[in-house]
Chain A
Amino acid sequence: MTFEGIYTPVVTPYDDDGNVVWDALEKVIDHLVDSGVHGLISGGSTGENYTQTVEERLELARFTQEKLSGRLPLIIGTGTMRTPDSIALAEGGAKLGADALLVATPPYAVPTERENALNVLTIDRAANLPIMLYNYPGRMGVNMGEEFLDRVGRSRNVCAIKESSGDINRVHLLARDYPHIQMSCGMDDQALEFFAWGARSWVCAGSNFLPHEHVALYEACAVKGDFSKGRRIMSAMMPLMRVLEQGGKFIQCVKHGVAMTGLYSGPPRPPLKALNKDDKRQLEQVIRVLKSTIDDITAGA
């Protein structure tokens, strides 16, 4: 499977008691489809998967797939602490007709590269779907290193890797030594660098609320190869990236960003808390400037 474009890990709208607000989720999905993103991810960390049971996640995935009804490809996140849970998600994903799986390292266990690779292959065997790996050492404690990448190559389902380490050397390694594994940007503040090294897709939480702007960067860099325009767009996005990647309130910002577009997203589940007034004001300010700047750039200014 070829991953091209903007893949949005969809937020999960909750009410104040932490129940999923299904109508709101449907509106978010429709909004994203209409905004021109290229695929959706259900059950990613942006969807707060770590607060959800396997049953809830499967229900969310089923709902998302149903509402999408083939309009965009759907990727199912299978990251969990327990391998049997990941297998259940993978199998469930295959049953409901998902297009691919997002397979992460189980957090907290700190597996060796061999153990981690065998874990991926186990999940793969359960579903036999294309796989996008998810390298996020910042949260999992381990990197998907060369031994891991060599071993997971046993399966041709392993098509791509969402690289979220933030380490530019990893981009070089993947681009040069693993050209068969499509590199997908998973580090928003390095999107320009990823595209320069040939990435064709970007998994970005920010596209939940700024889909046009993310698509604009993708089109400038990956489709047209116009990196001077890309640099201007990226530069305009950087203040947002700083808030998102370095502000420590990632989900909260994304959810508030969605609210700013007029859609309901609700508060995050505990232990996280919604943004306070100051944070909201700062984010709103950043988004306003960003949108008008990028509008100007894409309008040819």
Chain B
Amino acid sequence: MTDLLTREEYRALAAKLDFPTSAFIDGGYRPAQSGKTFATVNPATGETLAEIASCGAEDVDFAVLKAREAFEDGRWSKMHPSERKDILIRFAKLLTRNRRELAVMESLDSGKTIYDCETVDIPETIHCLKWHAEAIDKIYDQVSPASDEHIAMIVREPVGVVGLVLPWNFPLLMLAWKIGPALAAGCSVVVKPAEETSLTALRVAELAAEAGIPRGVLNVVPGTGPDVGEPLGRHMDVDMISFTGSTETGRRFLRYSADSNLKEVVLEMGGKNPSVVLKDAENLDRIAAHIVNGAFWNMGENCSASSRLIVEEEVKEPLLERIYAHAREWTMGDPLDPEHRVGALVSAEHYGKVCSYLETGAKVLMGGKAHDGAFVEPTILEAPADSSVAREEIFGPVLNVLTVKGFDDAIELANSTEYGLAASIFTANTKRALRGARAIRAGTVTVNCFGEGDISTPFGGFKQSGFGGRDNSLSAHDQYTQIKTIWIDLSDDGDEAVG
């Protein structure tokens, strides 16, 4: 990207930032009713950036009340679709106008590199909102095939008040993945950003209000899981929860739903995603680039990160040589330096968790060191398939290498996980590529590349990676609507009338 600024310029921007610190409810910023706050920290430096409202059940109740009022009076839910589209497009434009501020804020709050924020997170966020906005007035309902005696209409209606619970790894992009389709569908939303990364969601809410999204429709309630997430999950007047995060927390939301009003729950959770490289794969250099990107992008803090390399033994050594060469180009350090591709892990706590995997005794092929309580080198380990490194989601820049003897072996190993979010397969043989893609039990399988598809394709998992819906594409829109059948009798049949 040619329009990246210098490190000094980013630092100057960072010094001038005005951080939002209050919850955003009913069209305005509000401190927590308890007056409590928590510190949000720049993980790269350990500095406190701001003291943020630490909301509780009473703030959740208030946000839901206001979201419900907005939904029921139809100020957004019943607005003409093309009007909703115009406002969401204006919203996307405002994000574009403020993209630098948002990129720097995101980098400071999450430890992500400014390079990723500027080239991936912010453009994708804007693109996502625009895509769903543009879809609003182009989705048609249906009329079913039926006799002349009746008409059956199948119409979509917004679900209602939706709780959106976000992870810390893509604070802005996951916000867009959820509010894009939810607002497009006409829902009112209460967003709970991750405690570690609340800043950009709060700022975005202000921009949404400026764009004309009516008060009460988009609320952001920062706070901890027990204080905000649980009350939201247990709320009797929340119609649906869309959650992205850990499998353990996902289970809790199912329980909350069962214990309260049986609200719909959509879960997008962990992954332990394989990259399968068969011996007939072409262009190992390019494959190495994809694997390095898949494993280390966003410091590996990515549920679709390819954290398991499953390679046929014939190509293992030449592939690893190329992977080392590519990984060397991923320099690590100050996230605000646009030269850096690897920034800080999100928090000291998470750093500790990732480091614990480096101390399991697994054979280190590359990297393996950690610095300053925040930075973990891109690391390649070789640990057996039954080890914790090979089985558990590390959510850090750690790739584990597993060697196999053939196609069937590779597929079996790829599937030997409780997760099923994403996978890649590299081969020049089309039949094997397709057979492999079908055989691997995952929501997204990429062939000869690493990726998640894009906004036009559904994203979500099999098995314990999630269920209930898909992010991205029109499937995302569907998950925030429910289907209603309207059955109309057209018959003029006097015989059946009584009396």
Given A150-B28, A151-B28, A179-B62, output 19 extra A-B contacts at Cβ < 8 Å.
A1-B35, A2-B35, A146-B27, A149-B28, A150-B26, A150-B27, A150-B29, A151-B29, A153-B30, A154-B22, A155-B21, A156-B31, A156-B32, A156-B35, A156-B53, A180-B30, A180-B31, A180-B33, A180-B62
Interfacial residues of chain A within 114-136, with CB under 8 A of chain B in the complex: none
**CA distance in complex: A179, B27 (Å):** 14
Nearest Cβ on chain A to B67's Cβ, whole angstroms = 13
- Within A70-123, the residues touching B (CB, 8 Å) are none
CB of B419 to closest CB in A, whole Å: 40
**B245 at interface (Cβ–Cβ under 8 A)?**
no
Report the separation of the CA atoms of residues A146 and B27 in the bound assembly, to the nearest whole angstrom.
9
B51: which A residues are within 8 A, CB to CB?
156
A19 and B30 CA atoms in complex are apart in Å by 43
Q: Answer yes or no: B249 CB below 8 A from chain A CBs.
A: no
Q: Could you list 22 examples of A-B contacts with CB < 8 Å?
A: A1-B35, A149-B28, A150-B29, A150-B215, A151-B29, A153-B28, A153-B30, A154-B20, A154-B22, A154-B29, A155-B22, A156-B22, A156-B31, A156-B32, A156-B35, A156-B37, A159-B35, A179-B58, A179-B62, A180-B30, A180-B33, A180-B59
Docked Cα-Cα span, A153 to B35, in Å, equals 12
Contact for B26 among A2, A156, A177, CB less than 8 A: A177
Contacts from A to B (Cβ < 8 Å): 1-2, 146, 149-151, 153-156, 158-159, 177-181
Docked Cα-Cα span, A124 to B215, in Å, equals 25
List residues of chain B with CB under 8 Å of any chain A CB: 20-22, 26-33, 35, 37, 51, 53, 58-59, 62, 66, 209, 215
Q: With A177-B26, A179-B62 given, is the CB distance from A156 to B21 under 8 Å?
A: yes
Distance from B81 Cβ to chain A, minimum over Cβ atoms (Å): 27
| Contact present for A180 and B20 (CB under 8 Å) | no
CB distance from A173 to the nearest CB of B (A): 12
**Shortest distance from the beta carbon of A100 to any chain B beta carbon, whole Å:** 13
B32→A180 contact, CB < 8 A: yes
Main secondary structure of the interface of A (DSSP, over half): loop
Q: Which residues of B contact A150 (CB under 8 A)?
A: 26-29, 209, 215
How many angstroms from the CA of A226 to the CA of B35 in the assembled complex?
28
Establish whether residues B33 and A153, one from each chain, have CB atoms under 8 Å apart when the complex forms: no
Q: Which residues of B contact A159 (CB under 8 A)?
A: 31, 35
Give the distance in Å from the alpha carbon of A212 to the alpha carbon of B62 in the complex.
36
Measured between beta carbons, the chain B residues less than 8 angstroms from A146 are 27-28
Bound: A260/B37 CA distance, A:
46
CA distance A150 to B37 in the complex (A): 19
Compute how far the CA of A247 lies from the CA of B115 in the bound complex, rounded to whole angstroms: 68
B34 to chain A, nearest CB (A): 9
A154 to chain B: which residues have CB within 8 Å? Answer: 20-22, 29
A199 to chain B, nearest CB (A): 15
Q: How far is the CA of A262 from the CA of B35 in the complex (A)?
A: 41
Q: What chain A residues lie within 8 Å of B30 (beta carbons)? A: 153, 178, 180-181
Q: What are the 3 A-B residue pairs with the smallest beta carbon separation, nearest first?
A: A150-B28, A153-B29, A156-B31
CB closest residue in chain A, given B69: A177
Tell me how far the C-beta of B56 lies from the nearest C-beta in chain A, rounded to whole angstroms. 11
Q: Specify the chain A residue showing the minimal Cβ separation from B19.
A: A154
CA distance A159 to B31 in the complex (A): 8
Instruction: Find chain A residues with CB under 8 A from B209 CB.
Output: 150
Give, as a whole number of angstroms, the nearest-CB distance from A144 to chain B.
12
Chain B contacts of A149 at CB under 8 A?
28
A130 nearest in chain B by CB position: B35
A113 to B346, CA, bound (A): 39
* A158 adjacent to B33 (CB under 8 Å): no
C-alpha gap A155/B28 in the complex (Å): 11
Q: Which of A154, A155, A159 has the most CB of B within 10 A?
A: A154
Give the residue among B31, B32, B215 with the most A Cβ atoms within 10 A: B31
Chain A residues with CB under 8 A of B66: 177
Least CB distance from A145 to B in Å reads 11
* B residues in contact with A177, CB < 8 Å: 26, 66
Q: Say how far B204's CB is from chain A's closest CB, in angstroms.
A: 15
Taking the closest CB of chain B, its distance from the CB of A106, in whole angstroms, is 22
B53 to chain A, nearest CB (A): 6
Contacts of B32 in A (CB 8 A): 156, 180
Distance in angstroms from A113 CB to nearest chain B CB is 11
Residue of A nearest to B58 (CB): A179
Smallest beta-carbon distance A172→chain B, Å: 15
Among residues of B, the one whose C-beta sits closest to the C-beta of A148 is B28
In the complex, what distance in Å separates the CA atom of A155 from the CA atom of B37? 12
Residues in A whose Cβ lies below 8 Å from that of B59: 180
Report the Cα distance A179→B33, complex, angstroms.
7
Closest B residue by C-beta to A159: B35
Chain A residue at smallest Cβ distance from B53? A156
Docked CA distance A264–B388 (Å): 81
| Residues of chain B lying within 8 A (CB to CB) of residue A180 | 30-33, 59, 62
Kindly report which residue of chain B lies nearest to residue A117, judged by CB atoms.
B28
Of chain A, the residue at the smallest CB distance from B27 is A150
Q: How far is the CB of A174 from chain B (nearest CB, A)?
A: 12
Q: A158 — which chain B residues lie within 8 A by C-beta?
A: 31
CB-based nearest A residue for B32: A180
The complex places the Cα of A150 from the Cα of B27 at a distance, in Å, of 7
Contacts of B62 in A (CB 8 A): 179-180
Instruction: State how many angstroms separate the Cβ of B52 from the closest Cβ of chain A.
Output: 9
Q: How far is the CB of A154 from chain B (nearest CB, A)?
A: 5
A149 to B59, CA, bound (A): 17
Cα of A178 to Cα of B20 in the assembled complex, Å: 18
Query: A297 to chain B: closest CB distance in Å?
Result: 34
Question: For the complex, what is the distance from the CA of A180 to the CA of B58, rounded to whole Å?
Answer: 10
Chain B residue with minimal CB distance to A2? B35
Q: Which residues of B contact A181 (CB under 8 A)?
A: 30
A158 to B28, CA, bound (A): 13
Min Cβ gap B384→A in Å is: 52
Nearest CB on B from A153, distance (A): 3
A179 surroundings in chain B (CB, below 8 A)? 33, 58, 62
List, in ascending order, chain A residues with CB within 8 A of B28's CB: 146, 149-151, 153
* Chain A residue at minimum C-beta to C-beta distance from B50: A156
Chain B residues near A178 (CB-CB < 8 A): 30
Q: Across the interface, which residues of A come within 8 angstroms of B53, CB to CB?
A: 156
CA distance A143 to B28 in the complex (A): 17
Complex Cα distance, B21 from A178, in Å, reads: 17
Q: How far is the CA of A170 from the CA of B478 in the complex (A)?
A: 41
* Residue in B20, B35, B51, B66 whose Cβ sees the most chain A Cβ within 10 Å: B35
Contacts of A155 in B (CB 8 A): 21-22, 29
CA distance A153 to B27 in the complex (A): 10
Distance in angstroms between the alpha carbons of A16 and B138 in the assembled complex: 79
Q: B50 to chain A: closest CB distance in Å?
A: 10
